[in-house]
Amino acid sequence: MQAIRFLHNAFAQALPTLHSRRLTALMCCVSALLQGRRLTLTGIGRSMPGRAYPKHAIKRVDRLLGNVHLHAERPLFYWVILQALLGSLKHPLILVDWSRIDAPGKAFVLRAAIPLAGRSFPIYERIHERESCPKYQKQLLQALALMLPTG
């Protein structure tokens, strides 16, 4: 897929310190997600390109999702996406939202997104146990201050 190759090259160029095999595994998962249209660990694994048995492909996705280095690098991916979305915008509109992500209401996502062409593109996401916590909102503002261009 051309879009996957474009993404792979864009991330590899913008983030040269990123481990190449981790980036390749991530792009395989993105390709499987687009092809299979299922956002579950097993759904992505079953749609993985290649000749591996589904069991092994699912294990590959599981290892990637559990990779602590990938989780630590998430802000870098957000930064690259943000730079591409902003382009020459000097004062972007940023939407911030708290959303419950489980039925009992014990997990919430704090998300910042940029609206563009009728859609919102996430540029920051974090999962928290409490909603509307000023401490977490301050962390969001600090993260955005690091990612956004000065001025």
Q: Which of 63-72, 89-98, 128-137 has the highest mean pLDDT?
A: 63-72
pLDDT of residue 151: 64
Better pLDDT: 149 or 83: 83
**pLDDT classification of 26: cutoffs 50, 70, 90:** very high
Distances, alpha carbon 28 to alpha carbons 64, 90, 137, in Å: 11, 34, 33
Span 49-60, average pLDDT: 95
| Dihedral, 124, 126, 65, 106 alpha carbons, nearest 10 | -150
**pLDDT classification of 139: cutoffs 50, 70, 90:** very high
pLDDT of residue 77: 93
Q: Is the pLDDT of residue 19 over 80?
A: yes
Q: Is the pLDDT of residue 116 over 90?
A: no
SS3 77: helix
Residues 36/54, Cβ–Cβ less than 8 Å: no
pLDDT of residue 90: 79
**pLDDT classification of 88: cutoffs 50, 70, 90:** confident
Q: Is the pLDDT of residue 53 over 80?
A: yes
User: What is the DSSP secondary structure assignment for residue 17, as one 8-state letter?
Assistant: T
State the chain's mean pLDDT as an integer. 92
**pTM of the entire predicted model:** 0.83
Q: Which residues of 91-127 are buried (b: 16+ CB within 10 A; e: fewer)?
A: eeebeeeeeeeeeeeeebebbbbbeeeeeeeebbeee
Span 33-43, average pLDDT: 96
